[in-house]
Structure 1
Amino acid sequence: MKIIILDGYTENPGDLSWDGFSALGDLTVYDRTPPEAVAERIGDAQIVLTNKTPVTRETLERCPGVRYIGVLATGYNIVDIDAARERGIAVSNIPAYGTAAVAQFVFALMLELCHHVGEHSRVVAAGEWERCPDFCFWNYPLIELAGKTLGLVGCGRIGRAVAGIGRAFGMEVIGYDKFPAECPDLTCVSLEEVYRRSDFISLHCPLLADNRGMINDESIGKMKDGVYLINTSRGPLIDETALRRALDSGKVAGAGLDVVETEPIRGDNPLLGAKNCLITPHIAWAAKSSRQRLMDIAVENLSAFLEGCPVNQVNA
């Protein structure tokens, strides 16, 4: 049984072990695979694991031996699901592994926007506190979360975890979800009400055809003046040019973004250099414990498939 991992470096840059997969077959791990090399590297392998390397219909036509594709992530749009289904290829994903890590990261971004800890540390090191005639100083307004309204767009596992942390900070939490009946522990309201009432808005929804660019000039116009926006979900949910205008005008007081429309980010991204905009390189999920959990579930997925009882299959 040949097992090929097309792009293992992001999941495991060297601090985890691939032994769980090695125990299941003849394993080959590539750190990265360019698109033109995908079919050649898969060859006659039966098992393919991928994180962000596309597995297309053309690739599957050239690699008729493939029987299973494991996506080392939750989102599986990088696999041609229809082509896999037509060929009887099972495709599995990792539905829940980074909930705690991502929820924690939401507040890392939020608290940095509220306190600018990194910037204040930098200016202390530069001697500004030493030169200050007072016992303290601050370069930005300092914001207390208690009493603020946190609006969630998407109330799945991560959204609900964020809600719990928000309540611990003393925030009022409201949320919008397409399936509010599945969120009995949350105050679910309309999307319009989330926009209108929230001091902080955090996005936790999958990217779909009907929500691409949902944060745009029109929706931003419905928000409070001075709202803060957090996105650890998918970059294309935001019209980045519209957000840049809102940040520059002060309509949006700050944004904390772990994702952007094109990744890795390009030098011409309109949010680079925007006022009070934090951008991190898609790392909310990447705590070691979170990646280990992903690895363990991916091995369990493959083991279950080999035993004839597939789990977490997205094209059943």
Structure 2
Amino acid sequence: MKIVFLDRATIPSQIQLKKPNFEHSWVEYDFTEPEQVQERVIDADIVITNKVILNARNLSQATRLRLIAISATGVNNVDTDYCEANGIGVANVQGYATRSVPEHVIAMLFSLKRNLVGYHQDIEKGEWQKDKQFCFFTHPIQDVSGSTLGIIGSGGLGQATALLAKAIGMNVLFSERKGVSICREGYLPFEELLQQSDAITLHCPLNEETHHLIGKSELLLMKRSAVLINAGRGNLVHEQALVDALQTGEIAGAGVDVFSEEPADKSNPLLAHSHLPNLILTPHVAWGSDSAIQALSDILIENLNSFMRNEKLNRVV
């Protein structure tokens, strides 16, 4: 069995990646460009990918391919319809970041609500010295405890974030799917959740229904004192609309860990406005505590072992 890992550098070097417990050959590449995919997978039995796109075009000649193991939860980079039609199994990794992502979200939430970035920037600019007092107040400071967190996406990460939010004294609301008129028990209509929440965090998958789930009209529904946190997928949010809302004060702040194109550059409106005091950007690392990545790696390899035992652990296809 030939195993090809297309983007091994997505797992840090300090993380132990166990060997599969069956006879195999292992080929790994730190990075794989789109034009390199077809050549690298053509004789593979198992392909591991984190974010490398696998589609009908670059898989068409991979006649030996039996399994695509995604070293992440999201499967939007793999053409699952093609795989199903051609007898290629697809497995992902779930449940590994239920501590890491919620902690990142809550860290962003505290920073935004207490305007830590804004105050840090003001000290750098000498505002404290100009004021000549023991403290100064150039930005509003809001308590997190007692406020309301709206969660869009009620899977494992959404539920884990809710648990942590409740532990610090927040009220938690879950959103029904956008456009659904009859809500499940315990869920609020999408627009109503936007209006009631002091902070909103996104944990839903990216698909045709959720692409640009949050745009100009949704941001206008939010409280002007509210903050938005996206540690889900970049295209859940219309990035230019978010920048506009931050600049005009339609919402109070935003924390963004994911982008429409990754890595993002200065052509991205969020990076172009990274100087804003009410905007926090991180490079898709909410999931990436050492303990979470070790758990991911262990589940990834067990998915391979399971496949060789003719079991369907974490199978999407």
Q: How do 1:1-316 residues align onto structure 2 when only pairs under 5 Å count?
A: 1-11=1-11, 13-21=12-20, 24-117=23-116, 120=119, 133-178=132-177, 187-271=186-270, 272-273=272-273, 275=276, 276-315=278-317
| Structure 1 residue 265 displacement after superposition | 1.2
Deviates more, 1:249-258 or 1:147-156: 147-156
Q: Determine what percentage of the aligned residue pairs are the same residue.
A: 37
Following the alignment from structure 2 to structure 1, what is the Cα–Cα distance between the partners of residues 34 and 207?
A: 24
Deviates more, 1:192-201 or 1:13-22: 13-22
Q: Secondary structure at the match of 1:9?
A: helix
Following the alignment from structure 1 to structure 2, what is the Cα–Cα distance between the partners of residues 43 and 237?
A: 33
Kept in 2, the 8 Å contact 1:24–1:303? The answer is no
| Structure 1 residue 135 displacement after superposition | 3.0
| Structure 1 residue 256 displacement after superposition | 0.5
Q: Secondary structure at the match of 1:193?
A: helix
TM-score (norm 1): 0.90
- Give unmatched runs, 5+ long, in structure 2: none
Q: Could you say which structure has the greater relative contact order, defined with CA pairs below 8 angstroms and 6 or more residues apart?
A: 2
| Structure 1 residue 266 displacement after superposition | 2.7
Deviates more, 1:306-315 or 1:109-118: 109-118
| Structure 1 residue 289 displacement after superposition | 0.8
Following the alignment from structure 1 to structure 2, what is the Cα–Cα distance between the partners of residues 122 and 277?
A: 12
Kept in 1, the 8 Å contact 2:199–2:227? The answer is yes
Kept in 2, the 8 Å contact 1:155–1:183? The answer is no
Q: How many residue pairs get matched?
A: 311
1:245-266 deviations in Å (ceiling 9; x for gaps) = 2111111110011112222113
Following the alignment from structure 2 to structure 1, what is the Cα–Cα distance between the partners of residues 89 and 76?
A: 14
Q: Secondary structure at the match of 2:140?
A: coil
Q: Structure 1 residues 139 and 175, CA, compared in 2 at 3 Å: closer, same or farther?
A: same
TM-score (norm 2): 0.90
Deviates more, 1:129-138 or 1:101-110: 129-138
Deviates more, 1:31-40 or 1:288-297: 31-40
| Structure 1 residue 200 displacement after superposition | 0.7
Kept in 1, the 8 Å contact 2:226–2:253? The answer is yes
Q: Which amino acid in the other structure matches residue 147 of structure 2?
A: K
Q: Structure 1 residues 270 and 118, CA, compared in 2 at 3 Å: closer, same or farther?
A: closer
1:268-302 deviations in Å (ceiling 9; x for gaps) = 22223163111111110111111111100011111
Following the alignment from structure 2 to structure 1, what is the Cα–Cα distance between the partners of residues 126 and 215?
A: 41
Q: Which amino acid in the other structure matches residue 9 of structure 2?
A: Y
Kept in 1, the 8 Å contact 2:227–2:254? The answer is yes
